[in-house]
Amino acid sequence: MGSDATAIFDAEAAQTMMKELRAVYGSGATKSYDWRVSQLSQLLKLIEYHEDDIAAALRSDLSKPDIESYVYEIGVLKSSIKLALKELRKWMSPEKVKTSLISFPSSAKIVPEPLGIVLIISAWNYPFLLSLDPLVGAIAAGNAAVLKPSEISPVSSALIAKLVREYMDSSTIRVVEGAVAETSVLLEQKWDKICYTGNAVVGRIVMAAAAKHLTPVLLELGGKCPAVVDLNINLQVACRRIIMGKWGSNNGQTCVSPDYIITTKANAPKLIDALKTELEKFYGKNMLESNDLSRIVNSNHFARLIKLLDEDKVSGKVVYGGKRDESILKIMPTILLDVPRNSLIMKEEIFGPLLPILTVDRLEDSFNIINSGTKPLAAYLFTNDKRFREHFVTEVSAGGLVVNDTTIHLGVLTLPFGGVGDSGMGSYHGKFSFDAFSHKKAVLYRGFVADADIRYPPYTRKKLRL
């Protein structure tokens, strides 16, 4: 479905697809442990047998370095599927809970059940991970699913459609390729959950469409992720980790990339020098030619980033980089110092290789700067000061926090991954993915003994005194 490039995906096609999926889902086919295991195993094969094809698609769409593809997409996906296969029985098991006096005698449990048919709309920057990782949770929880990969990474989208058709149960798992028109048609249908990854403007469109059917949503959005850098740290290690989260992750086109840094005025020159040194060790002097840096995904995003960089307010603030080559859609890792807070670059999520550094007199002031904006998807702190670290954990609201590193919390499958406020709602990864696509059904069991008269009319004064 949708993978045939000539087929038109219109309202009629969508309704037919939904009817087919509802019929199969209604038969209970996806509920069994065996179906879930078989589909998770097929998904693992889909990835393991096609690692090179996946890396090639990512090279074509984003010039993503192969190692990045293996580590951040293929590797994370394989771990996620293996974990689901290992833990599935446990996740599916009802959880016994205590009951209260009001129902005595009784027993109770919480029974996870699938939600139904789920729609997974994903973004272009990690096209395989963002489509297939939510699918792991959807399958583990026993749902039928439709994937809508991003048209902005077309080679990856086509490969996802082809491989899903070849490896997965087509009566319950489909891919619809396309852009706004196709997604809009999908959003008109009644889903049992929508998982959307992308920007908050479209997030609002998705949520409004879902509201018409009272469909719950998992919104994985973005925002401006800050990194606060303290003094007296191992600056070299900190810079290597900042660089990997910023330029080493899709050249900054990552939802959890550090968007800007806050440090003290006194620390900024040392930090900038250390960043330059480590950047040049990683990518050489001519970074526009480095094969270890992804390009900007397309000319629209290139123009968007150049507009942020060339705005009058910030053009004099570049302290490193700034070079660009539109013919290969590359922008050099670029550091800016003390850009005005009302500049575009500080108002919008950057989502690219530009890194502003803001300076403050006291590092404690950074919390106010962070908390005065919308809540970020991630926030980072580099420090050796335990008291400051705990202050950061208590004071800063974000989807997730990492102390002394960037972005790697994504790979820790025991942690929920998701935003808060404008950076999203709901979370997934590991068991949280299973929970995201399950309903926790409350079940209370009673027998026929000890049927106390007190709860039944007539409500006499004597009963009231008991």
Clarify whether 166 is annotated catalytic.
no
221 binds ligand NAD (CB under 6 A): yes
How far, in Å, are 20, 185, 208, 423 from residue 214 at the CA level? 22, 17, 10, 21
Q: Which of 68, 220, 278, 349 is catalytic?
A: 220
Rg (CA), the chain: 25
Stretch 227-256 residues interacting with ligand NAD (CB under 6 A): 255
* Contacting residue, 88, 377, 396, 436, with ligand NAD by CB under 6 A: 377
Which CB sits closer to ligand NAD, 45 or 212?
A: 212
118 binds ligand NAD (CB under 6 A): no
Clarify whether 220 is annotated catalytic.
yes
Task: For the sheet with 106-114, list strands across it.
Answer: 95-97, 106-114, 438-446
Which CB sits closer to ligand NAD, 68 or 349?
A: 349
Site string for ligand NAD, 163-202 (x = CB under 6 A): ----------------xx--xx------------xxx--x
Site string for ligand NAD, 338-367 (x = CB under 6 A): -----------x-x----------------
* Contacting residue, 13, 85, 158, 205, with ligand NAD by CB under 6 A: 205
- CB of residue 231 to ligand NAD, shortest distance in Å: 30
Q: The tokens of 1 are what?
A: 């479905």
Q: Closest residue (Cβ) to ligand NAD?
A: 222
Exposed, middle or buried, 218 (CB in 10 Å: 0-12/13-18/19+)?
buried
Give backbone dihedrals phi and psi of 212, rounded to 5 degrees, phi first. Answer: -60, -30
Which CB sits closer to ligand NAD, 175 or 314?
A: 175
Which CB sits closer to ligand NAD, 18 or 37?
A: 18
| Omega prior to 340 cis, within 30 of 0 | no
- CB of residue 351 to ligand NAD, shortest distance in Å: 6
158 binds ligand NAD (CB under 6 A): no
Q: Alpha-carbon distance 41 to 356, whole Å? A: 44
Site string for ligand NAD, 252-281 (x = CB under 6 A): ---x--------------------------
Stretch 284-343 residues interacting with ligand NAD (CB under 6 A): none
How many chain residues touch ligand NAD (CB under 6 A)? 28
- Please report the beta strands in 64-182, taking only residues with DSSP state E, as ranges in sequence order: 95-97, 106-114, 117-121, 144-148, 173-175
Query: How many helices and strands (H and E) does the chain possess?
Result: 18, 18
Which CB sits closer to ligand NAD, 187 or 274?
A: 187
Q: Alpha-carbon distance 442 to 390, whole Å? A: 37
Query: Rounded to a whole number, what is the largest CA-CA distance in the chain?
Result: 90
- CB of residue 329 to ligand NAD, shortest distance in Å: 15
From 39-47, 106-114, 120-128, 321-329, give the range in contact with ligand NAD by CB under 6 A: 120-128
Pairing label, strands 226-229, 378-382: parallel
Site string for ligand NAD, 406-435 (x = CB under 6 A): -------------x----x-----------
Which CB sits closer to ligand NAD, 112 or 419?
A: 419
| Omega prior to 333 cis, within 30 of 0 | no
- Count of Cβ atoms closer than 10 Å to residue 56 Cβ: 16
Place of tokens 């059917």: 213
Q: Which of 194, 193, 190, 160 lies closest to 174 in space, CA to CA?
A: 160
Q: Alpha-carbon distance 181 to 197, whole Å? A: 17
Residues 317-347 as b/e (b if ≥16 CB within 10 A, e otherwise) read bbbbbbebeeeebbbbbbbbbebeeebbbbe
Residues labelled catalytic? 220, 255
Site residues for ligand NAD per CB under 6 A: 121-125, 130, 148, 150-152, 179-180, 183-184, 197-199, 202, 205, 220-222, 255, 349, 351, 377, 419, 424
